[in-house]
Structures are given as structure tokens and as C-alpha cells.
Structure 1
């Protein structure tokens, strides 16, 4: 019986070695898959998971924008600050502090969240609300948005002068 016990012990040992090798290979495979899947995560999807959280954005031409992240859309987000609200254009964002560690993939977003920054600007134009248009180069215009085109916003500045601001150059819109 001793030789049978030795044989079974040897087979158990081989089985444990095979299991350990399989686990090591599987762990490496899972790490590769995780890394590959994370390539698909966008800034907007990370922000979508952060809605309701206090965050700080470093925005080109503006500086720090701090507040509670209220809404995220395609290419923009709404931040409720202590004194005013901000519509922040995501291409102008250099860094985000305080975002959630998870993400919400775009396929899980509501149809409203898929609207672009033009939709947010149209709401401001419809309300006739005075705001500050901040451009990525640091220029700021005290304005009232009037109409929004495909790639620009038309606003009234000063004493009735018309301004066309390219959406690509828009960093943020600050409520008054």
C-alpha cells in the first residue's frame, strides 16, 4: 500500500503544480484584458460616475473650477459652484481632482446625456441669461447668448454688439 500512497501523493503534487501554473497564466491574462478594456474608458465616462460629487477642474484659459458635478454630456459638463454654475467644455479640461474611481460606459447613458454643448448653450440662449464666455486663450466676454449654430455661439456683448465664438475655442461658460 505504501507505493499506492506515494503514487497518489505524486499525482496530487502534479495536480497542484498544474493548478498553480493555470492560476498564474489566468492572472496575467486577466491583467492584460483589464488593461485593454481600460483603454476604452473616456474622461466623460469617469465624470458620469462622479455626478453628485464635489470636483475641481483645471480648465485652460480659466483656471480652477470647483463645485458639485451636476450633469455630464457629450463633450461638456455642468458644475454647480458656490456662487455660480459653470458649463465646462471637456476638450479644455487639463485635469480633474476628486473624480470617482469607476466609470459609466456611454452605452449606459440616457439619451439626454448624449447631447452636446450646443444644447446647454441653447438653454442659456432661450433663457436670455447673462453669462461670461471664457475662451481657451484666457479671453472672457460678458455676454448674453442669442443663438447657437453648428460650431459657434452667437452672443450679444457690450451695448448690442454681436459676437460669434467658435465652440472649439470655448473653455467654459460661467453664469452670472
Structure 2
């Protein structure tokens, strides 16, 4: 009888241990999922786009519409898309939707040094060139890119006075 009692006790203890192990595994799985969600909540659109450099992507940009082409560069607040000899400098906060984006992301620490160049650097790179500035209002300013200030760019149309465009008004620049 003692032997039978010991066996039942051992079986009971084994079952308890299995239940505890199962509960721990389930709890650990939930914790891992929660941590993954919390980590992913820190992934930016720029980080997803950085993982997509060199790929064909499709963006819908506020007051510009759909833009498709090869994603050439991603930097601080902007990206560069090229298609058919046309380059689009797109402000990331004007992007409404993106398709064709890589499923992964590149952490900002792993970005190339050139990706830290802000919008001012990109616009200074266009100085002297003709461009069409598409504004968030739906309007456009066309002309030669002139001086670039801390938060604005001058555009010299073919006739008339230069137009000063606030960066906050920009959605995209086509050159």
C-alpha cells in the first residue's frame, strides 16, 4: 500500500511540475511577445525605408500623390527616389503610405554617416538647379534653387522676385 501511495504521490508531483513548467513557458512567451511589441513601437518609417534602399518603392505623398521609383537614399527627415531620370526629394513627414518596403528595419546607429544630413544639406545640393517644389497646400513653386536658410529655401522663378519657401510647407522637391 505504501508503494502504491508513493507512486500516486510521485505522479501527482510530476503533474504539478508539468503544470508549473507549462505556466512558466506560457508566461515567458507572453513576456517575449510584449517585449517584441515594445521594441517594434520604436521602429521609425525612416528605419524601415533605410532597409529598403536600392529597392523599387511606391509612396503616396501629401498633396503630391503617388510616387514610384528606386529608393536611393534615406536621411534625417527625407528620402530620395529616382525614376526615369527624375529625382524626388520627399519629406518623410509628408509620406502618407509606402508599399514595397522591406519587412525589416535598420537601427539608426547602423546608418551611414551621410544619412545624418538634414534637409538643409539636401537643398543646398540642389542650389543653382531648376526644381519644382511641391507644397503641402497642393500648390507648387518652380525655378532655380537659391540660398538655403535654417528653415527656408529661396526659389528664383524665370521672372519676378525670389520666392521664400518654408521647409514646413514642403512635401517634395522634383529636379
TM-score (norm 1): 0.91
Distance in 1 of aligned mates of 2:8 and 2:70: 67
Aligned residues: 173
Q: Which of 98, 103, 109 is the equivalent residue of 1:101?
A: 103
Deviates more, 1:157-166 or 1:75-84: 157-166
Aligned match of 2:114? 112
Deviates more, 1:4-13 or 1:38-47: 4-13
RMSD: 1.5
Deviation at 1:105, TM superposition (A): 1.8
1:36-71 superposed Cα distances (whole Å, 9 cap, x missing partner): 112211111111111111111111121111101110
Aligned match of 1:71? 73
Distance in 1 of aligned mates of 2:150 and 2:43: 27
Q: Does 1:44 align with 2:46?
A: yes
Aligned match of 1:147? 147
TM-score (norm 2): 0.91
Distance in 2 of aligned mates of 1:143 and 1:4: 92
Aligned match of 2:133? 133
Structure showing greater radius of gyration is 2
Distance in 1 of aligned mates of 2:66 and 2:104: 23
Distance in 1 of aligned mates of 2:18 and 2:76: 51
Aligned match of 2:88? 86
Matches within 5 A, 1:5-84: 5-84=7-86
Distance in 2 of aligned mates of 1:52 and 1:11: 59
Distance in 2 of aligned mates of 1:44 and 1:104: 9
Deviation at 1:160, TM superposition (A): 5.5
